[in-house]
Amino acid sequence: MQLTRQLGLLHVFSIAAGAMISSGLFVLPGLAHARAGPAVILSYLVAGLLATTGMLSTAELATAMPRAGSDYFFITRSIGPAVGIVAGLFNWVSFSLKAAFALVGIAAFARLVLPVDMRATGVVLGVTFVALNLIGIRGAARAQMALVLGMFALMSLYVARGLPVVKIEAFVPFAPGGLRAIFSTAGFVFVSYGGLLKIASVAEEIRRPGYTIPAGMILALLVTSLFYTLMVGVTVAVLPATQLDGSLTPIADGALALMGRSGQAALGVAAGLAFLTTANAGIMTGSRYLLAMSRDGVLPGAIGRIGARFRTPHLAILLTGALVILPLFVDLHILVESASVGLILTNILANVSVIVLRESGVQNYRPIFRTPLYPWLQVGGIFGFAFLLTEMGAEAFAVGAPLSLSGFCLYWFYGRTRVMRESALLHLVHRITARELRTNSLESELKQIIRDRDQIVLDRFDRIVENCPVLDASGPCTRTVGQRTGQRRGSDRYRHRQYPGQQRGEHPAHPRRGRHPSSACCHRTNRVEGNPAKFVGGLPGRRHG
């Protein structure tokens, strides 16, 4: 059973923006300021610039292959199933941990108002969002849209009240830890932009994906980056460093200094809305990775089963919800490091995938949106993300190594015998070495994706043409060749027929397409340039209407 396309541009913007703006803005600035000082503003900007490269590459891949599973699906088809499974596992864990991080933030703000247990609050909210996503993605997306609009309204109030009181003296000394601290902190806060790629995981449920996906992602990145810069700058200016360093509620503390208790309450509501949107988007999009891996046979088929009533992958959503709730009992720094490492590796592989697919010469790789400044943007992004990983230190490798090992074990012991999938990397090797390693199964799969994306329908005539035999004659293809071929095959299909009113040697007019091509060897064929004797059959079909 297939997913249905129900999401528009505003839904896409709300999912991406809501997934980004949460703990990365309302919790992380205090922890990041303790690392980089006032230069934390530059750390957010550096992380945003690098996120742009991954975002543009993911947008291109998503418009070429709008399928559930996003990076797992792209990477499997471009680099291979082994790397794709590792990437899918990384993304599923990263998005789920980011949602868990958001639930921790909600619980922290709830404790400011009510004497409640943080973990119990997070568990209750996690179960609520699992139930909401089980009912259907359209209802979850509508709730996301309402929450995001309310969040932006309250954030605009904070910026409007804070900008007039900002003073330059508050940013001195600007970078006490130097450039190294700025870049290492950029890797630490990169999780703030992780929600941007969540859109690709629900690409199969987006209307007009070729336009809606890149437009929604670019709009979400621009608006979110602007609010990150302004709100972090205002917070650094109005709070002393001793109070800001290590605070888990830095924006609420800044609102208290600016607007008193009423302002703190308003920004507390904004933070709550932000956390709710991120937790909701994390469960919504994380479950689609399990769906995609189940479709490919990497995971048991029951995980990807779609319910008949609500048309949602119910078991995948339940497993994702469990992964969101369990980390609530883990240290906060481990959550942040794990989510950031997974998202950085995902961006690296997205850039590599674009390069492999473009250089492989795969004919049916036809993205509607193409990344500008290719390949320099991708190469710069790969080296930039690799630099962030090295600056994050040994903790990044301690987090990434177990996840990578788990992904390779999943592929080797379970998925290797079940997934026989061709990748664009084989086409690239063939192009470079002339070794025949490909089977053209990737071309067939991409052709079907294009038909689904552009709503192309094949009629009976198209199927006959697509499946017709192909003749590759050594000389000019004449009527005599067609007659002899038909005689050898014992078929009248290749014999020249003379219709009433037709002169001898004249080809009949095609009843649908005008005059028949100047060959009696095959029907409705395309001549290959440079070889007048070679004909190939098959057309992609026609659109609705």
| Domain spans in the chain, listed from the N-terminal domain onward | 32-294+301-415, 455-543
Q: What is the pLDDT of residue 379?
A: 92
Q: What backbone torsions phi and psi does residue 335 show, to the nearest 5 degrees?
A: -60, -50
CA 137/CA 180 separation, integer angstroms: 42
DSSP of 304-319: GPPPTTT-S-HHHHHH
Taking CA atoms, 468 is separated from 96, 461, 520, 523, in Å, by 48, 11, 14, 8
313 near 287, Cβ under 8 Å?
Answer: yes
pLDDT score at 523: 40
Question: Domain 32-294+301-415 is classified in which CATH homologous superfamily?
Answer: Amino acid/polyamine transporter I (1.20.1740.10)
The whole-number pLDDT of residue 525 equals 39
Exposed/middle/buried for residue 455 (C-beta within 10 Å: 0-12, 13-18, 19+):
exposed
Which stretches of 81-240 are DSSP H helices?
81-113, 118-135, 137-162, 178-189, 198-201, 209-238
Q: CB-based contacts of 437: which residues, under 8 Å, 6+ apart?
A: 426, 429, 430
Q: What pLDDT was estimated at residue 22?
A: 74
Q: Which residues contact 352 (CB under 8 A, 6 or more apart)?
A: 78, 79, 378, 382
Q: What's the rounded Cα separation, in Å, for the pair 21 and 44?
A: 12
Residue in this structure with the two tokens 């602007």, named with its chain if needed: 226
Q: How far apart are CA 532 and CA 478, in angstroms?
A: 11
Helical H runs in 435-508?
441-453, 460-467, 479-489
Can you give the pTM of this predicted structure?
A: 0.70
Bridge partners (DSSP) listed for residue 7: 206
AA letter at 544: H
Q: Which residues of the chain have pLDDT under 50?
A: 493-499, 502, 504-545
Residue 111 has a CB neighbour count (10 Å cut-off) of 15
Instruction: Give the Cα separation of 178 and 175 in Å (integer).
Output: 5
